[in-house]
Amino acid sequence: MDERAMTAAVLTVSDRAFAGEAEDRSGPLLTDLVRAAGFRVVAATIVPDERAEIGDRLRTWADRDRVALICTTGGTGLAPRDVTPEATRDVLEREVPGIAEAMRTASLSATPLAMLSRAVAGVRGETLIVNLPGSPKAVRECFAVVAPVLAHAVELIAGAASQHRTA
Residue ranges covered by each domain of the chain: 3-158
> What is the tens place of the pLDDT at every residue in 125-148?
999 999 999 999 999 999 999 999
CB neighbour class for 70 (10 Å; exposed up to 12, middle 13-18, buried from 19) = buried
pLDDT above 70: residue 161 = no
pLDDT of res. 162: 55
- Measure the CA–CA gap between 22 and 121, rounded to whole angstroms: 26
pLDDT above 60: residue 122 = yes
> 97 with 121: CB under 8 angstroms?
yes
- Measure the CA–CA gap between 9 and 29, rounded to whole angstroms: 13
> 71 with 11: CB under 8 angstroms?
yes
pLDDT above 90: residue 155 = yes
Alpha helices in 37-95 (DSSP H): 51-59, 84-91
The mean pLDDT of 18-42, rounded to a whole number, is: 98
Q: Select from 121, 122, 116 the least CA-distant residue to 132.
A: 121
Architecture in CATH for domain 3-158: 3-Layer(aba) Sandwich (3.40)
pLDDT above 80: residue 105 = yes
pLDDT of res. 2: 57
For the chain, list the strands marked E by DSSP: 7-13, 40-47, 69-73, 94-95, 121-124, 127-132
> 142 with 105: CB under 8 angstroms?
no
Q: Percent of the chain beyond pLDDT 70?
A: 93
Q: Select from 136, 165, 140, 156 the least CA-distant residue to 69.
A: 156
DSSP category for residue 64? I
The mean pLDDT of 19-34, rounded to a whole number, is: 98
- Measure the CA–CA gap between 96 and 63, rounded to whole angstroms: 19
Give the three-class secondary structure for 2. Answer: coil
- Measure the CA–CA gap between 35 and 26, rounded to whole angstroms: 14
pTM: 0.94
